[in-house]
Amino acid sequence: MFHIMRWKRPTIATALSVLALSAALTSQAITSQAMAASKKTITAVMHSDLRVLDPGFTTAYITRDHGYMIYDTLLATDSNFKVQPQMADWKVSDDKLTYTFTLRDGLKWHDGAPVTAEDCVASLKRWGRNDNMGQKLMDFTASIEPIDAKSFALKLKEPYGLVLESIGKPSSYTPFMMPKRLAETPAGQQIKEHIGSGPFKFVQSEFQPGVKAAYEKNPDYVPRKEPPSWTAGGKVVKVDRVEWITMPDAQTAVNALQSGDIDFMENPSFDLLPVVKANKDIKIEILNKLGFQTLGRMNFLLPPFDNVKVRRAALLAMNQKDVLDALVGNPEYYKICGAYFVCGTPLATEEGAGNLTKGGSLAEAKKALAESGYDGTPIVIMAPGDVVTLKAQPIVAAQLLREAGFKVDLQATDWQTVVTRRASQKPTKEGGWNMFFTNWVGADVMNPIANASIGGRGTKGGWFGWAESAKVEELKDKFARATSPDEQKKIAAEIQKEAFEQVIYVPLGQYLAPSAWRKSLTGVLDGPATPVFWNIDKSE
């Protein structure tokens, strides 16, 4: 027997209300999706997934790239390596001790509040705690204080020739400006809001780590009048949205580019370039003409690399050609180079490089390791498999180290895990590490002050790996005070020699990384660091 359920009137009314609400929400979601689809949108696959959103917390380039979308800088560097006004103009006192910065009109945070000198002072101080050039600038700085709402003064203890170059540096850590309340986030903590004054706004509600990051045009942004040049000039946004889509598999991303499902791919894998070149609807170009330096970094705090003799044995085992052949393959796109400060620049030298650029020396490495006191402690190497320009280095290095007599624990992971984990100073059994590999754009490493990896500050503000060398820091101060290019070159060679002696890091050569985009995009700009999405238009 079936029972007929008799609903009371309030129950029926409630059910109808729920159905109506559900229909309304579904309609709203469909409308929202339709509105997003109707906007002019650039869809890009960047070199890495975005997870860390604070550009003052990590030097990871994907986080820097995110920073350029939503933040702006006081100064910027153009294609002639000249520092230009961006958010602010400046004046220098006759005694070269006081730099006065004045904000231009029309600067507003994404929440509508005006940008103030107090915000910028707090932002510079935060940047100065973390960045290599910033730290050195702060060493020479007596004070940074607001003058009024739109101007502030940076006063030096003694003349310092790299003030503008430091504040206008184009890459990690980039001195992005943010509201004072965010800039005053305690050291070691990430900011909780993502509010800048830059050309795009971050769409927090759509952010899905490992899936998508979305940005919308900032309608309140007032671009400079000058034409764009690298990170300087007018940042004119010509589309409504930019979406970064995560596609770890290189073949999948290339297929999406060829089919038109995405518009831009930052780093197609080198082995797939011939396929991309064959498509007449796709353009391939090297946007960063300075290229990249790839390197290995050891952890100075943990055994066995707390022993300089073990570090030297590991250095002797390294071989640039093996790494570059695996990473790039095509010599058209790579250069064997023993210079810490980039081959082809005024400070380039092979001082101290030894056999690193000549095929390595396993026999010497084995001998040095046997004499080092190495006790067989496994070398924990983090090996990200999701970034085409970072997959090969740890695998090749692990094999070279094993051949030299090291025990190696190669731990497969993804790049964003490396970015997070490399900040850990814990023992390897508690999530620590012994070695990781990364890449720097040429602009980040072409002098000893800019090069974050060359520092010797240890745990007192040093970069991941916490290399400690009082001599390197003394030589860097000497470089900062040098008044002629010849003097700078001589000191840079001394720094490089000491860096190889202490194995501050292992330079593994240079390479160029082509980008690819559909020809429906126009106005793609080159630069020393990041692909930028202002000035790009898209035809349907």
**CA 7 to chain centroid:** 62
Query: What is the number of other CB atoms lying within 10 angstroms of the CB of residue 471?
Result: 14
Q: DSSP 3-state assignment of 518?
A: strand
478: left (phi over 0), alpha (psi -120 to 50) or beta: alpha
| Owner of token pair 């979305």 | 214
332: which DSSP letter? G
Query: What is the number of other CB atoms lying within 10 angstroms of the CB of residue 280?
Result: 7
Strand order in the sheet with 241-245: 200-202, 212-217, 241-245, 41-45, 264-265, 515-518, 282-285
> In Å, what is the CA distance from 256 to each residue of 260, 265, 448?
6, 9, 41
Q: DSSP 3-state assignment of 127?
A: helix
Q: Give kind and range of the element (H or E) at residue 396.
A: helix 392-404
How does pLDDT run along the chain (540 residues), one tens digit per residue? 333 333 334 433 433 343 444 444 444 444 445 555 578 999 999 999 999 999 999 988 999 999 999 999 999 999 988 999 999 999 999 999 999 999 999 999 999 999 999 999 999 999 999 998 999 999 999 999 999 999 999 999 999 989 999 999 999 899 999 999 999 999 889 999 999 999 999 999 999 999 999 999 999 999 999 999 999 999 999 999 999 999 989 999 999 999 999 999 999 989 999 999 999 999 999 999 889 999 999 999 999 999 999 999 999 999 999 999 999 999 999 999 999 999 988 899 999 999 999 988 899 999 999 999 999 999 999 999 988 899 999 999 999 999 999 999 999 999 989 999 999 999 999 999 999 999 999 989 989 998 989 989 999 989 999 999 999 999 999 998 888 889 999 999 999 999 999 999 999 999 999 999 999 999 999 988 879 999 999 997
Query: What is the number of other CB atoms lying within 10 angstroms of the CB of residue 473?
Result: 20
Residue 388 CB contacts under 8 Å (≥ 6 apart), including other chains: 47, 250, 267, 268, 269, 270
* Distance of alpha carbon 412 from alpha carbon 382, whole angstroms: 6
How large is the angle between the packed helices 362-372 and 308-317, nearest 10 degrees? 160
Q: HSE (CB half, 13 Å, CA atoms) of 537?
A: 6
Q: In 3-state terms, the chain is what percent helix, strand and coil (to 5)? A: 35, 20, 45
Q: DSSP 3-state assignment of 148?
A: strand
The domains found in the chain, sorted by start residue, are 72-180 (3.90.76.10), 292-511 (3.10.105.10)
* Distance of alpha carbon 413 from alpha carbon 483, whole angstroms: 46
pLDDT at 180: 98
pLDDT at 37: 59
